[in-house]
Amino acid sequence: MTSENAKRFFEIQCGKKSSEFVTLAQSGSARVNFLATSGNEKFIITYNENVPENESFLYYSNIFSQLHLNTPHILAVSTDRKMYVQEFLGEHTLSEIIAKEQLSTDVKLLIKQTLEKLFSLQILTQGKIDFTKTFEYENYDELPVTHDLYYFKNFVADVLELEYNKSVLLREFKLIVKLIEGLEPKGIMIRDFQARNIMVNTNNEVSFIDYQSAMKGPLMYDVISFLFQAKANFPEEFKNEMLAYYIQQFEDPMVRAQLQGSVKPIQLMRFLQVLGAYGFRGLIQRKSHFLASLEQGILNITQLSNSWKYMENYPELKKVIHQLTSEKTKSKIDEILNLNH
């Protein structure tokens, strides 16, 4: 997709002349984004060959817009469904602001606002989404949970040649699947709810932009994804304070108890899945963003394994996690990075 084609599409569909049209840097996806400037207005033009992914994003965007949520309005879509124009929601991601300001007063307010807006999105979309229209998975059930566990096994445990009994570990994985499937309350789960997928405008208002992989799942999942992302590295006390802040938005004491009870199981799942991504994207594909977070990812899962009493139900997995901080594993990581250099 050339910038010229995207520019032509934007100008014809939106009836505006662009004074500036630039290609934005790609992140982890195959999507190509362009930024168009027309007078005082800015727009994002997205091109993506993956039509089912686009359909999911457009479906969610339509519902979110009807509910007046903090997500981009879609202004035009090409007939082949591969290109669309969306509202511009800010120059900076929340991730960029956190990197620059650390845990400043403004950042704390933005994090609180994010949790408030996430709560609103979760509550207002209840009963409004047809999850058969989702991209890849309808529910965070046996298939995606098993996939996430194997992601960790294949791209961390196996790549780093950690020792484990295969049949014992896989039986433990089945127990974890049952645990996760039983978590309540459920609703929309954006899945990759990270500061890099949250835009901040000049009025310090946050917007969510990356939700095409959303499915039905435990409401606590996105909260854990956000507060415990390795790159942000928030202090433990602050993470716990924000967890409590999110949970207190629910009035029903039973729901609050369910949410509190789902924190550790979801931390386990999320930390394993994220480490799998760091293994694949970092150790194998050598993408710097993922490599930089590998150490923090290992620290997160190790701390959880050491502090959560129910890890004793998964002794083989605990043994694997324990090996992540060994000198042998550190040497193996260095060896892989040097080989791939």
The secondary element (H helix, E strand) that includes residue 68 is none
> Range of 69's domain?
3-87
| Closest C-alpha to 68, from 188, 203, 207, 199 | 207
What is the DSSP-derived secondary structure letter of residue 156? I
pLDDT tens for each residue of 131-190:
999 999 999 999 999 999 999 999 999 999 999 999 999 999 999 999 999 999 999 999
Which CATH number do you get for residue 205? 3.90.1200.10
Least confident of 75-89, 157-171, 223-237, 278-292: 278-292
Q: Structurally, how many domains does the chain consist of?
A: 2
Q: Is the pLDDT assigned to residue 35 strictly greater than 70?
A: yes
Q: The domain spanning residue 63 has which CATH number?
A: 3.30.200.20
Residue 1 reports pLDDT greater than 80 = no
- The tens digit of pLDDT for each residue in 188-243 reads 999 999 999 999 999 999 999 999 999 999 999 999 999 998 888 899 999 999 99
Distance between start and end Cα atoms, the chain: 31
Nearest to 162 by CA among 46, 270, 323, 26: 323
**Same domain? 152 vs 292:** yes
pLDDT value for 290: 82
Residues 8 and 97 placed together within one structural domain of the fold: no
pLDDT attached to residue 158: 97
For residue 186, report the phi and psi dihedrals to the nearest 5 degrees: -115, 160
Residues 69 and 126 in one domain: no
| Residue 17: count of CB within 10 angstroms of its CB | 11
**Scanning the structure block, which residue is given the tokens 């963003």?**
289
At 339 the pLDDT is: 73
Quickly state the pLDDT bin for 28 (edges 50, 70, 90): low
Residues 34 and 49 in one domain: yes
Model confidence band, residue 340 (pLDDT cutoffs 50, 70, 90)? low
The last residue of one of the domains, among 25, 58, 87, is: 87
pTM for the complete prediction? Answer: 0.93
If asked whether residues 98 and 66 sit together in one domain, one would say no
Are 164 and 58 within one domain?
A: no
One domain, residues 64 and 205: no
